[in-house]
Chains A and B, each alone.
Chain A
Amino acid sequence: MRYGEYFNETHEQMRRSARKFIESEIAPYLADWEDAELFPRELYAKAAAAGFLGLGYPEEYGGLEADIFHRIAMTEEFIRTGSIGLVAGLFSLNIAIPPILAMGTPEQKRRFIPPVLAGEKIAALGITEPNAGSDVANIETRAVRDGGDYVVNGAKTFITSGCRADFVTAAVRTGGPGFEGISLLVIESGTPGFRVAGKIRKMGWNASDTAELVFEDCRVPAANLIGAENQGFMAVMQNFQDERISMAVMAHAAAELAYETALKYTEERSAFNRPIRAFQVTRHKLVDMATKIEAAKAFNYKVAASIAAGEYPVAEVSMAKNFACEVCDKVAYDAVQLHGGYGYAREYLVERIYRDTRILSLGGGTTEIMKEIIAKYLQY
């Protein structure tokens, strides 16, 4: 389906720009970046200059006004690099900047946002801790006010782009226990007491760096507090909505890439003197993959359209993430299966898609957390 109600010629032109950018700036080097477990920092500036990093942000901060489907079209095209981790790393600003944009003062926005949209600085989001992930209300990193500063102690983990981030939009505890004691603080990496404790090696997302961060008596100016003190929880929750619908889109786009790759392979690969697609079992498997992808896509677009229309569909966003991730898991599995042994080999794209998509139903809130959210909204 063409989904003409969501995408027009401007989205199509933007896809072309993205494809050209990927073809010349990413595709030739991607295998090396995956092996090196990092992509070069220069890519941020290049992606910014080509108009991708600032997409959807206000012009006054160096952004490019866009609708939600421009962002979706861009995500879909970048996922077609076949490196979901690259997309997560390159666009980590899209989880780190929105809280600043939503709740920051004009001065904070002018200070933090433009350098990131220009690709000069890297922004990361710091929520998850060794002992608290989706359970944001129980984070333990503490920020104690002392004169004009907050003194931060604690640790964050699984922080995408954390190893080389110039700042982290971090959730910290400034008040008592529970969700009412949480604030958002921009912690700059050069601050004494800020330390990258390690780069986490992972099953997938190898092109992006994932960090464990430690704060030891890290003095952060109170001017870096985003929004009012102890009002951070709602901002984190709101931000999760964007992240989750974006991950749902990543999932359907990755599934589609896996499907198309398998489709091509089943035409080229012969067994028992015929292309394996000539077997009914193969065709039916492919059809099941295509059906699931189409349903996930249509639902994701529908939910995105409702967000664009100003609704706040919390249950549906969680449903979209769960459904698309489940589809993606199954499709990636079947795409590997259709490749036989080659599907297990690094040389073949589906091998990476299989590894890179496993995180989608863990990050941004696990499938189980999504289900709890949905149950709550459906008032069970």
Chain B
Amino acid sequence: MKIAVLIKRVPDTASVFAINPDQKSVATDKLKFVMSPYDEHAVEEAIKLKEANGADVVVVSLGPDSAKEVMRTALAMGADEGLLVTGAGTDSLTSKGVAEALAAAVKSIGAELVFAGKQAVDDDASQVAERVAELLEMAHASVVTKFELNGGTAVVNREIEGGSYTLELPLPAVITIEKGINTPRYPTLPNIMKAKKKPIAEKSLADLGLSAEALAPGVVLESLSLPRQNRRNHIIDGDTPARVNELIRLLKEEEKAL
């Protein structure tokens, strides 16, 4: 069985972010990049499945050449090979275009099962994996916290507020993974060394039979800005019992914190 895992290279959220003067892009020169954390759980789940049942795990990403860094991490965790969609027209895509490109990539591999993080931590759009499922007409479950394969059927738990669904999906299927499903392993040095020799194929949009024009974003980015921090101060006067009572009232009635 072939398992595709969709992974994304994203800025480490602990980085210090700055917007370029054009206000339309994030300054990347001082950012550290990592694999999106939910994707790590997706890679781990695929490798666990491979270890239990035997499977070929292909990590699939779209991005610049530097995206290979996080693909190597996935290969060092135990994935078998990589497929990077890169080159002209891939740098300005929105979720829709990325999904079309990745769907074509997944199709070219012939994967029966697709794992992905429930969302990427940079744009938090939560769209790509779902769109891939639609485009490939695969069954789909998102925010999955437990996964089992029962013959040709995937049995998953899907978190909802205050409870969870148990769903059965026929393969082929796309599953997006929530944290807590597993603990991603740390790539050890011997596996890092082995990963250097594992293949990462590159495909352009044209290789996948797609055109950059057709995938062009349907939305226009107007401007980016950093979140503004609004700090509110509230100084309470009076003697101590009165101040305590007022503080409790404020926390209960106005801040709804209690």
B187 touches A (CB below 8 Å) = yes
Contact present for A70 and B188 (CB under 8 Å): no
B184 contacts which chain A residues (CB < 8 A)?
Answer: 20
Q: How many angstroms from the CA of A14 to the CA of B34 in the assembled complex?
A: 13
Contact present for A14 and B73 (CB under 8 Å): no
The B189-248 residues at the A interface (CB cut-off 8 A) are 189-193, 195-196
Interface SS majority for chain A: helix
Interface string of B62-100 (1 = CB under 8 A from A): 000000010011001000000000000000000000000
A64 contacts which chain B residues (CB < 8 A)?
Answer: 188-190
Contact present for A13 and B76 (CB under 8 Å): yes
Contact present for B72 and A17 (CB under 8 Å): no
The A45-103 residues at the B interface (CB cut-off 8 A) are 50-51, 55, 59, 64-66, 70
A50 contacts which chain B residues (CB < 8 A)?
Answer: 185-186, 188
Contact present for A21 and B193 (CB under 8 Å): no
A311 touches B (CB below 8 Å) = no
With CB as the reference atom, state the residue of chain A lying closest to B185.
A50
- A13-B73, A13-B76, A16-B73 known; A51 and B196 CB under 8 Å? no
**What's the minimum C-beta distance from B32 to chain A, rounded to whole angstroms?**
9
- A16-B34, A16-B73 known; A10 and B186 CB under 8 Å? no
Contact present for A17 and B196 (CB under 8 Å): no
**What's the minimum C-beta distance from A40 to chain B, rounded to whole angstroms?**
17
With CB as the reference atom, state the residue of chain B lying closest to A55.
B189
Give the interface residue-count category, chain A: 10 to 19
A35 touches B (CB below 8 Å) = no
Q: How many angstroms from the CA of A59 to the CA of B191 in the assembled complex?
A: 13
A5 touches B (CB below 8 Å) = no
Q: Which of A10, A59, A65 has the most CB of B within 10 A?
A: A10
Q: How many angstroms from the CA of A51 to the CA of B186 in the assembled complex?
A: 8
Q: Which of A10, A20, A66 contacts B196 (CB 8 A)?
A: A10
- A9-B72, A9-B196 known; A17 and B188 CB under 8 Å? yes
Q: How many angstroms from the CA of A158 to the CA of B76 in the assembled complex?
A: 39
B185 contacts which chain A residues (CB < 8 A)?
Answer: 50
Q: How many angstroms from the CA of A12 to the CA of B76 in the assembled complex?
A: 12
Q: Which of B190, B195, B196 has the most CB of A within 10 A?
A: B190
B192 contacts which chain A residues (CB < 8 A)?
Answer: 10, 13-14, 17
B34 contacts which chain A residues (CB < 8 A)?
Answer: 16
**What's the minimum C-beta distance from A41 to chain B, rounded to whole angstroms?**
20
Interface string of B95-134 (1 = CB under 8 A from A): 0000000000000000000000000000000000000000
B189 contacts which chain A residues (CB < 8 A)?
Answer: 10, 14, 51, 55, 64-66, 70
A55 contacts which chain B residues (CB < 8 A)?
Answer: 189
Q: How many angstroms from the CA of A70 to the CA of B192 in the assembled complex?
A: 11
B interface residues (Cβ-Cβ under 8 A, vs A) = 34, 69, 72-73, 76, 184-193, 195-196
A interface residues (Cβ-Cβ under 8 A, vs B) = 9-10, 12-14, 16-17, 20-21, 50-51, 55, 59, 64-66, 70
- Chosen A-B contacts, 26 in total, with CB atoms closer than 8 Å, are A9-B69, A10-B193, A12-B69, A13-B73, A13-B76, A13-B192, A14-B187, A14-B189, A14-B192, A16-B187, A17-B187, A17-B188, A20-B184, A20-B186, A21-B186, A50-B185, A50-B186, A51-B186, A51-B187, A51-B191, A55-B189, A59-B190, A64-B189, A65-B189, A66-B189, A70-B189
